[in-house]
């Protein structure tokens, strides 16, 4: 079964963009971003968005396609990525899907359940309750109606707790009940999208990279970027865009009044949150036995990654 496109995944700061750009020097390709933050306009520094020069050198897709006020779902990603991959292949080029939003990779490679659509009224009610009771209280409620889903979510994972309760309230069925057995279908689907995973052998190496990247973001004006977003007046902390790692912590710091001590605290909380994100990304990747792993923290990383991707592309 021929691949529809290649997937290059890895935790944040693992070097995915550099590998993608190096591969573009060897193969005619176009990049499809697999990143729930890069879709938003005006969120450039905190997302480590590819530069204008990088995007001019290699065509990139699914970047700057939404205003931060708007939502973008995994289902929308699958539809967009599939359509773009077909168009790229029709141009005689390779679709290379690059990013770290594992929910998007999972939806693309395993397929989506036909779950209820988002209900703004139900979400607003849940947000109001969370403001009054706290997300751990809603997590406890989820544990009563859907213990299987609650067991895999942290009590502060507001976005997923909200969605799980929303599905239950709208449909009367727990989220876990919607996940039918799709093993055979998923296996066939995954064959269409081979996955190369950049993973560190030494977690401390990744932690250093994360800290260096966050420091570079602060030096590049990340706080000012978030200030500009806040000054719009129509954005708030509960939007999916403002829940992105780094933006959530900067928003909270600005709400508290950011002085010199606050900036140091933002650095600490931002780096800690990014480490947690990387840990979740690695956990998901390691649950994908069909992935092809390339160590991202060795002198041989670039050569091994390029060789692996070229082999999977049949080049």
The pLDDT value given to residue 250: 95
> What is the tens place of the pLDDT at every residue in 286-300?
998 899 999 999 999
The pLDDT value given to residue 260: 64
Mean of pLDDT values over 197-211: 97
What radius of gyration do the chain's Cα atoms show? 20
The pLDDT value given to residue 315: 66
Dist. CA 293–CA 97, nearest whole Å: 16
Per-residue pLDDT for 90 more than 70? yes
- 153 C-beta neighbours (distance < 10 Å), count: 20
- With cut-offs at 50, 70 and 90, classify the pLDDT of residue 258: confident
- With cut-offs at 50, 70 and 90, classify the pLDDT of residue 222: very high
Mean of pLDDT values over 140-154: 94
Mean of pLDDT values over 127-153: 94
The pLDDT value given to residue 70: 94
Dist. CA 133–CA 268, nearest whole Å: 27
> What is the tens place of the pLDDT at every residue in 35-57?
999 999 999 999 999 999 999 99
> What is the tens place of the pLDDT at every residue in 71-88?
999 989 999 999 999 999
Q: Which of 165-174, 176-185, 201-210 has the highest mean pLDDT?
A: 201-210
The pLDDT value given to residue 176: 85
* pTM greater than 0.75: yes
Give burial (CB, 10 Å; 0-12/13-18/19+) of 295.
middle
Task: Map residue 23 onto helix, strand or coil.
Answer: helix
Dist. CA 94–CA 34, nearest whole Å: 15
> What is the tens place of the pLDDT at every residue in 227-248?
999 999 999 999 999 999 999 9
The pLDDT value given to residue 3: 78
- With cut-offs at 50, 70 and 90, classify the pLDDT of residue 181: very low
**Chain-wide mean pLDDT for the chain?**
92
The pLDDT value given to residue 1: 41
The pLDDT value given to residue 187: 59
Task: Map residue 9 onto helix, strand or coil.
Answer: strand
- With cut-offs at 50, 70 and 90, classify the pLDDT of residue 186: low
Mean of pLDDT values over 170-189: 69
Dist. CA 277–CA 283, nearest whole Å: 10
Mean of pLDDT values over 191-196: 90
Share of the chain above pLDDT 90, in %: 80
């Amino acid at each position: 079964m021929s691949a529809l496109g290649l997937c290059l995944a890895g935790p944040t700061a693992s070097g995915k963009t550099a590998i993608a750009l190096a591969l573009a020097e060897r193969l005619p390709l176009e990049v499809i971003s697999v990143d729930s933050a890069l879709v938003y306009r005006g969120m450039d520094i905190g997302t480590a968005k590819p530069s204008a020069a990088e995007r001019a050198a290699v065509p990139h897709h699914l970047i700057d396609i939404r205003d931060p006020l708007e939502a973008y779902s995994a289902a929308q990603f699958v539809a967009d990525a599939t359509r773009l991959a077909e168009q790229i292949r029709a141009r005689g080029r390779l679709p290379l899907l690059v990013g770290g939003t594992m929910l998007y990779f999972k939806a693309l490679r395993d397929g989506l359940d036909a779950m209820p659509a988002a209900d703004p009224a139900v979400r607003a009610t849940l947000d109001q309750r969370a403001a009054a009771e706290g997300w751990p209280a809603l997590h406890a409620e989820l544990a009563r109606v859907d213990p299987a889903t609650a067991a895999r979510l942290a009590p502060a994972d507001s976005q997923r707790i909200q969605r799980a309760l929303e599905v239950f309230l709208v449909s009367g069925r727990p989220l876990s009940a919607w996940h039918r057995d799709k093993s055979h279908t998923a296996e066939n689907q995954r064959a269409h999208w081979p996955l190369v995973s950049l993973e560190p052998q030494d977690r401390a190496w990744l932690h250093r990279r994360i800290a260096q990247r966050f420091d570079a973001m602060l030096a590049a004006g990340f706080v000012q970027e978030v200030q500009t977003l806040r000054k719009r007046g129509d954005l708030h902390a509960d939007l999916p865009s403002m829940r992105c790692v780094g933006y959530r912590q900067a928003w909270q710091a600005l709400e508290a009044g950011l002085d010199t001590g606050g900036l140091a605290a933002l650095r600490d909380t931002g780096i800690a949150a990014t480490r947690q994100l990387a840990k979740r990304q690695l956990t998901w990747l390691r649950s994908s036995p069909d992935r092809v792993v390339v160590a991202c923290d060795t002198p041989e990383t670039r050569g091994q990654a390029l060789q692996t991707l070229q082999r999977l592309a049949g080049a």
